[in-house]
A and B are shown apart, each in its own frame.
Chain A
Amino acid sequence: MINKKIKYFIITACIILLAIIFILPVFLTIMASFVDEEKINLILGSNTWENMISPAKLSLSSYDQLLFDFFPFYRLFWNSIIYSTLITFFALLVGFLAGFSFYYSKYRGKKVIYIIYILLMMMPLQVTILPNYIGLREMNLLNTPYAIILPLVFSPFGVVILRQYMSGLDVDIIEAARLETSSIIRILIKVVAPQIKVCISAVTLFIFVDSWSIVEQPLLLVKDQKLKTMTTLFSNTIDVGMDIILAASVIYLIPVLILYCNFSQHLEEGLALGRVSIHD
């Protein structure tokens, strides 16, 4: 019995340790943003444990420099906010309509189209960015905000997840609602949407985060510095000081952390990714 208890204790300790390791990068980022530049340079200079844990003065100088001396930051931050909000809103709208269409309507070839959506969802950016680029070039949209927004609005991810979740819905509810009204918009808003609330919030969170963290699109699809996003700041530690970047990282993480803390439960229920399959 005692043996079993020790085993139990060890496993529990291991899990907790792992959990701490997983949180550590976020914790360290926040910590590092509050120390002075000297200490950061010390760590970067020689990466030893003594340097890491040696006492450091608490200071707000990183934030001070970021907010008062580094004005491009405001532009980049604002761009990120605008892009992510617009992408999330329109992707959700388009995805909800398409997801419903896949779920409800019946016609030949629907399954083939749906398989194309799933395959497209699996494709990494190496594959999709060139088609995106060509499509935008043909429409003369390169180097405009639309270059970043439009391809992501039509990303198949939301469609697939919403449709997959809707497959658990009872069609009878919609048929019953059709007796009351013939307006598809009313049925979608009043009947379908409330049933899949969990999935909608999961998809909202996921799309927002996805568009909040885009790196390649602002790099390759727009040239104008004024149109870039915050993420371009993080790959570029040479022009901008490490301390400024650390402070910017914390500000960059805050919206996502707030969203995650509020929606984490929806995320697990709503994504239901394990259910993604082309058989049904």
Chain B
Amino acid sequence: MSFHTKSKLCLLPSLGGILVFYLIPYIRVICYSLIKSQFKKNFVGLKNYKDVLSNEYFQLALKNTLLLILVAVPLIVVFALILSIILVTRTKWLHKTRFAFVMPMVLPAAGVITIWKMIFSSFDSALPIYTLFFWKNTGILIIILTAALSTIEKEVMEAAQLDGVNNFQKHRYLTIPLIFPSILFSLLLSIVNSFKIFRESYLYYGNNYPPDHSYTLQYYMNNHFLKLNYQKLSVGAILTSFIILIIIGLGLLIQRRFSSDD
């Protein structure tokens, strides 16, 4: 067997697992979403989709997730960008504080959730979930953005300073356009991560039913998981994956538009 064939074969274990646990069952999921129920396998077309989309809990979950994307995602990217710019341009000593911002990224939320419950026990809003989102996801953005910032050549910035450009203008007209692809990637990643915040929300509210403002898509899914309602579950999974595909597609489109402008 040639070396090339062997190197192709290296993919097999991974591809096999992906097929067995992800892709082939996903096709199953699509089939489930189109039939009436496990026992009556009549084809019902898009009826299940209509049911789920008009369900008030699904709408509530979708609304909360969209709110998180529209409010928290832009905020976290701006926050991480400002922090990264300061951390890159300041002294080595201050740079060490990055340790603190990156750490929550690897810390399991389960370990600190109890303290969150204690601090926010008298708040009745989605604040605990939003703060958890910030705490958890700033780190990865700082890694991405500082990596991009450190590729900007010093000469460019010095030349700008000689031209009498102030700090704000410098970042507005130089830094941000130069690292735009990374900013876009950060936005995309944060949107994807906002779908993952369920875990924290689940830990926070436990088995109890969460208040309306914190009801997320995964609660909807979990509820139907317990009832083993495959039809509703399948539709939920497919709709979520569609939303994410659209978001990623839009992101790539903007990126392509941007890079063809150069």
The answer to whether A and B interact is yes
**B52 at the A interface (CB under 8 A):** no
**A101 at the B interface (CB under 8 A):** yes
* Cα distance, A135 to B17, chains bound together (Å): 10
Assuming A98-B15, A105-B7, is B115 touching A32 (CB within 8 A)? yes
In contact, A273 and B143 (Cβ under 8 angstroms): yes
**B50 at the A interface (CB under 8 A):** no
**A143 at the B interface (CB under 8 A):** no
In contact, B11 and A102 (Cβ under 8 angstroms): yes
Identify the interface centre among B14, B117, B237, B244: most chain A CB within 10 Å of its CB. Answer: B14
* Cα distance, A29 to B117, chains bound together (Å): 11
In contact, B14 and A130 (Cβ under 8 angstroms): no
In contact, A97 and B240 (Cβ under 8 angstroms): no
Residues in B with CB closer than 8 Å to A120 are 18, 22
List chain A positions with a Cβ less than 8 A from chain B.
11-12, 15-16, 18-20, 22-23, 25-26, 28-29, 32, 40, 43-44, 46-47, 94-95, 97-98, 100-102, 104-107, 113, 116-117, 119-120, 122-136, 138-139, 150-151, 153-154, 156, 159, 178, 182, 184, 205-206, 209, 212-213, 215-216, 219-220, 230-231, 234-238, 242, 245-246, 249-250, 252-253, 256-257, 259-260, 264, 267-268, 271-274, 276, 278
26 A-B residue pairs with CB within 8 Å: A18-B83, A22-B135, A29-B115, A32-B114, A40-B118, A44-B118, A100-B7, A101-B7, A105-B11, A113-B11, A116-B18, A117-B18, A125-B196, A126-B217, A129-B225, A131-B22, A135-B22, A178-B3, A235-B207, A236-B206, A237-B114, A242-B114, A257-B107, A260-B106, A268-B143, A273-B189
List 11 additional A-B contacts (Cβ < 8 Å) besides A124-B244, A236-B207, A245-B114: A11-B90, A18-B83, A32-B114, A43-B121, A95-B14, A127-B244, A132-B21, A150-B17, A238-B206, A246-B115, A260-B107
